[in-house]
């Protein structure tokens, strides 16, 4: 049985929200004081090399993250940069060049003021994308599937795999936020089944599309974003749950054949995992319902390789 394990720190796992944004920034929009964009290395290429021979595939941390001192840095493709800057999800983005999700860039940028908020840094990133990548976009609103997540039981009781995070973990997360430190990455050939404070991991069994997600010290919004990415559709959080949680969720992934870890092997003798809605209810005590509603779609009109520093 071959397993693929994807590891990402909590500060990297959730880079976007479900809010659509407007068009490319106009003159006078906020800009970084200094910024550097250089060719980067695809984390998937690095993972394939480390996972040769069917062993554990460990994806290096990628994407950009906020650092103390009004800084934004990381290794990311243009797609993930747009998602962060415009505060949208992948299913809300259309168009773009062929290299949109395959070419990676090392990004390092600093705001003039060390107290710049994440929202302000994202607006500065919009300007950077317009100036260095020639990015231009427009937004259209369309009808699309919309899912709602609620607590399943009327008495509010949660499932056995959704538990409040310990006070020790909360204190550790506050310290990491202050210093900009990352949580430790787990080791081993399989996805961990015990949450690690501040870490979100996803493991995939390729032969039967069984996914295992573990989250340590995460807000429910992290789970909502994970479900949304799995479904390729918006998920509205109506659980009313606040604070941080430790979560373990095992379910049948709907990833299409050809996606990392996706596609059911017809010759597999592995037992089929539980579909996502049933897993959410049985394991976490949450209910997922499907509806429809308007969804803003950001369409890329133009983008080009970044200009030299």
Residues 160 and 280 in one domain: yes
For residue 254, which of 170, 145, 152, 168 has the smallest C-alpha distance?
Answer: 145
Residues 126 and 207 in one domain: no
Instruction: Name the more confident of 262 and 203.
Output: 203
Residues 221 and 280 in one domain: yes
Q: Is position 115 within any domain? A: yes
Contact 255, 263 (CB under 8 A): yes
Q: Which residues, 6 or more positions from 19, have their beta carbon under 8 angstroms from its beta carbon?
A: 87, 88
Q: Is position 305 within any domain? A: no
Q: What is the pLDDT of residues 213-258, one digit of tens each?
A: 999 999 999 999 999 989 989 999 999 999 999 999 999 987 543 3
Q: Is position 303 within any domain? A: no
* DSSP helix/strand/coil, 301: strand
Q: What is the pLDDT of residues 15-71, one digit of tens each?
A: 333 334 444 456 678 999 999 999 988 766 665 555 554 444 444 456 788 888 899
Six token digits for residue 300: 């890329």
Give the integer Cα–Cα distance in Å for 70 and 104: 23
Mark 74-88 as b/e (b = at least 16 C-beta within 10 Å): bbbbbbbbbbbbbbb
Arithmetic mean of pLDDT, 265-291:
85
Report how far apart, in Å, the C-alpha atoms of 255 and of each of 48, 97, 145, 180, 263 are: 19, 23, 17, 33, 7
Band of residue 152 on the pLDDT scale cut at 50, 70, 90: very high
- Number of structural domains (the chain) is 2
Structural domain range at position 163: 144-293
Beta strands in the chain (DSSP E): 3-9, 34-39, 63-67, 71-77, 93-95, 104-110, 136-151, 162-164, 199-205, 210-218, 235-237, 245-252, 286-302
Q: Is position 170 within any domain? A: yes
Strand 93-95 and strand 286-302: the pairing is parallel
pTM above 0.85, yes or no: no
DSSP letter for 91, please.
Answer: G
Residues 204 and 226 in one domain: yes
Last residue of a domain, one of 136, 154, 175: 136
Residues 39 and 130 in one domain: yes
Q: What string of DSSP letters covers 153-212? A: STT-PPPTTEEEPPHHHHHHHHHHHHHTPPPPPP-SSS--SS--TTEEEEEEETTTTEEE
Residues 156 and 66 in one domain: no
pLDDT at 48: 57
Instruction: Name the more confident of 186 and 76.
Output: 76
DSSP letter for 305, please.
Answer: P
Residues 60 and 30 in one domain: yes
Six token digits for residue 55: 């062993």
Q: Which residues pair with 279 in a beta bridge?
A: none
Q: Is position 306 within any domain? A: no
Residues 182 and 101 in one domain: no
**pLDDT for 207 beyond 80:** no
């Amino acid at each position: 049985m071959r397993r693929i394990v994807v590891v990402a720190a909590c500060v990297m796992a959730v880079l976007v929200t479900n809010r659509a944004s407007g068009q490319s920034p106009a003159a006078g929009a906020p800009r970084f004081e200094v910024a550097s964009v250089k060719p980067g290395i695809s984390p998937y290429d690095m993972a394939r090399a480390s996972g040769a021979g069917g062993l554990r595939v460990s994806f290096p941390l990628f994407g950009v993250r906020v650092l103390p001192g009004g800084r934004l840095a990381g290794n990311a493709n243009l797609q993930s940069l747009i998602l962060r800057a415009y505060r949208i999800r992948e299913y809300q983005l259309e168009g773009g060049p062929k290299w949109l999700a395959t070419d990676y860039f090392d990004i390092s940028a600093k705001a003039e003021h060390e107290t710049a908020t994440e929202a302000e840094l994202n607006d500065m990133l919009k300007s950077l994308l317009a100036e260095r990548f020639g990015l231009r976009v427009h937004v259209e609103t369309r009808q699309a599937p919309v899912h709602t997540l609620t607590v399943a039981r009327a008495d509010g009781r949660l499932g056995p795999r959704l538990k409040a995070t310990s006070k020790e973990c909360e204190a550790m997360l506050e310290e990491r936020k202050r210093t900009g430190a990352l949580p430790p990455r787990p080791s081993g050939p399989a996805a961990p089944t015990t949450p690690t404070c501040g870490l979100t991991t996803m493991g995939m069994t390729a032969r039967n599309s069984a996914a295992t997600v573990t989250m340590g010290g995460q807000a429910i919004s992290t789970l909502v974003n994970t479900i949304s990415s799995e479904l390729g559709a918006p998920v509205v959080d109506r659980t009313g749950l606040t604070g941080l949680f430790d979560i373990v969720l095992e379910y049948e992934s709907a990833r299409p054949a050809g996606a990392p870890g996706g596609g059911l092997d017809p010759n597999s003798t592995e037992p089929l995992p539980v579909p996502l809605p049933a897993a959410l209810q049985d394991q976490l005590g949450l209910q997922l319902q499907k509806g429809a509603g308007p969804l803003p779609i950001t369409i890329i009109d133009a983008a080009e390789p970044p200009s030299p520093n």
